[in-house]
Amino acid sequence: MDFNLGEEEKMLQKAIRDFAGKEIAPIVDEYEEKEEFPVEVARKLGKLGYLWPSAPVEYGGAGMSKICDAIVREETARVCAGIAQCLGPDIAPDIIRRHGNEEQKRKYLVPTITGEKIGAYGLTEPDAGSDAASIKTTAVRRDEYYIVNGDKCFITRGNICDYVTLMAMTDKSKGYRGMSCMIVDRGTPNFSSTKLHKMGIHSSDPATLAFQDSPVPVGNLVGEEG
């Protein structure tokens, strides 16, 4: 197995290292102090096509290797681990890439690849982390909406996201097979977020999310129930 980087990967590594030095390094102290993620950094990386290098070409990505994704995370983390944690590929848009329909991909995946939208992944709860089947958030279908109730915690980008790929129980009787994923837009009624304060990597900006009878269109279901 060859662990050396290819020419394309070396070029990307240099480009990201230069970007991190010019665009991230000068603002690290400011955003660590404010405990915020500098959204504009994601926008700039997205315009350059470096936010998610392995994203599919047909949706605006570069179609590069997963190693290139790792290079982006590694080179930005050299400058600031907190900011790096919020950059690069993530579960939120990748779920849509793998399981979403074409309309969802055009509405959410494309602008996420370009940095115009920011997604968050809503799984962890106060009493459910690695034991995902223990989540208590529910989504009950009523006509053309799911009514969502529950709380999520430690959600990276939860305060700044434009949407959440939310994991909720649509049928508790089926255990983990009763879990479903749906896209919840920022601005959905009765959906709120609250900043969390940590001991370190402050600029990663995690949050708690709360849903109280929040209506989510049935068309936002990713894949099928369960």
| Closest to 163 measured CA to CA, from 188, 196, 138 | 188
Q: Which helix (H) or strand (E) holds 135?
A: none
Distance, CA of 131 to CA of 78 (rounded, Å): 32
Please, are residues 140 and 211 in contact by the beta-carbon 8 Å criterion?
A: no
Please, are residues 66 and 78 in contact by the beta-carbon 8 Å criterion?
A: no
90 is catalytic: yes
Other CB atoms within 10 A of residue 43 CB:
15
> Strand, helix or coil at 130?
coil
Distance, CA of 12 to CA of 8 (rounded, Å): 6
CA distances from 97 to 5, 41, 84 (A): 26, 23, 22
Q: Which of 90, 143, 151, 205 is catalytic?
A: 90
Hey, what are 113's tokens?
């690849």
Catalytic residues: 90
